[in-house]
Structure 1
């Protein structure tokens, strides 16, 4: 199945009609591709966030020189400069590092989680949808539930885009000269945009509920009302758990 403009409009306005024409299980390859693209986008956003923080920080920090052995080792071999154990003891004990670069490195440590996270949530979402459909008296297939969970990533691109643009705007005029206050400065810069982020999250959840309700109605062969509750309860719990 290759989505057309008409089918994509149908997915947006009437998911039930879309999945009438395209049974969820038959769309599994496309759903998998959506999750894969979202994972790549998330990795790119984490990398970009690291760059934004690095550009906003204009300071250096003093830190231990990782290439120099600890002082006790250097002291113990002070009279034996040729000892391989005491090698590099002539290097300075501390060095100056760009605080922005350190922030970038710290953010980049989350790249593996950004890549794996969407696939883990995809699997969990599929299990939840399958179980919800069964508990509602329906007959969903796991392949169909997996496909629906993948389609649920489509609204996340909207939330992802709003968040990324918002952070870029918030940090564009920020200069951090005290690394110890970096978190407070970033929080203060992003604070005015929190209502926008909240609105984007609410719209994303509403879109996901609309999409998944229509999809589960067709996949599990249950009435719309049952599907709405089956999707709404776990989605609402997930939203509550996601609150800071």
Structure 2
């Protein structure tokens, strides 16, 4: 029986595969792109499932009518545009189905980006934990880029749970009692769309995260020559954290505030802080030592550079959580 090609063998025997085979960055990018597309597609399908289950209407203020204070004070002259708009009804009926669907489908762009952010974040953590703390910025970035092709294989198994989410949610909504208030319905729709109330989906989530951790551990050992125990330990911690965030993230971090852009900006800022830690330390030192003698030979210690890079990684994690991306892990 012929052996599997390394592209497939990396999913089932990653420890041996990554030690003798180096994947291309182009194929790695394609894998993550497929995962992102599957995630976005699944969220869009979930929106249709949730919106199709919700029926009925509710009464809301008419957005096309001016505020009551303007109409009561005769702000507009008779026959003016304001006067004509004040003749419109104060309230209108709004269908609840589209409200629920829009609340869920609003997460499609973030779902598309989540596998890419996960890919970068995991690679940053691996580079941080396996590189010498005193590396120059270019050397640290080179090691980061060297890990990217292999860690993409650890992102790919998430595609299975992405595609399982609409199926799980279709079962959940059969017994879902939704509120008639527009704001409460939007929040409830986003919560149920996560699928984490389904025991079966939680099992799929745990299984795929364990698979991802297995592949990540093989990539870390193969590319960075980490010990098997260390690689498995790091990957297991990351998988456990991801499960915790994914299981409770929909409840703890509802994306009902405009935090997505701010959170993704935090991810970008954290990455720059990680990649250019020595440069920023040199700039800080230059300004702090203005007026001091003997400042030409000042060099940061290795542990301090590592700490600065670790702070950048923590900022990336905080930004990802703030963006609400944990809902789409």
Which TM-score tier does this pair reach, normalised by the shorter chain? 0.7 to 0.9
| 186, 199, 203: which one aligns with 1:199 | 203
**Distance in 2, Cα, partners of 1:5 & 1:88:** 69
Matches within 5 A, 1:76-155: 76-77=73-74, 80-134=77-131, 141-155=143-157
Greater mean alpha carbon deviation, residues 195-204 or residues 88-97: 195-204
Q: Are 1:235 and 2:234 counterparts?
A: no
SS of residue matched to 1:141: helix
Q: Are 1:31 and 2:45 counterparts?
A: no
Structure 1 unaligned segments of length 5 or more: list them. none
1:220 Cα offset (Å): 0.3
In structure 2, the CA distance between the partners of 1:133 and 1:164, relative to structure 1 (3 Å rule), is: farther
1:38 Cα offset (Å): 1.7
Structure scoring higher RCO (CA < 8 A, sep ≥ 6) equals 1
In structure 2, the CA distance between the partners of 1:81 and 1:21, relative to structure 1 (3 Å rule), is: farther
Matches within 5 A, 1:185-196: 194-196=198-200
Aligned Cα root-mean-square deviation (Å): 3.0
TM-score by length of 1: 0.81
Question: What is the count of residue pairs matched by the alignment?
Answer: 232
TM-score by length of 2: 0.62
SS of residue matched to 1:146: helix
Asked whether the 8 Å contact 2:39–2:111 carries over to 1, the reply is yes
**Distance in 1, Cα, partners of 2:15 & 2:24:** 14
Q: Deviations over 1:135-190 (max 9, x none)?
A: 79xx982123222332222111122223222112333x458685259649x96xx7
Q: Are 1:41 and 2:38 counterparts?
A: yes
SS of residue matched to 1:216: helix
1:17 Cα offset (Å): 2.7
Q: Which residue of 1 aligns with 2:52?
A: 55
Asked whether the 8 Å contact 2:43–2:104 carries over to 1, the reply is yes
Structure 2 unaligned segments of length 5 or more: list them. 134-139, 249-329
Q: Are 1:17 and 2:16 counterparts?
A: yes
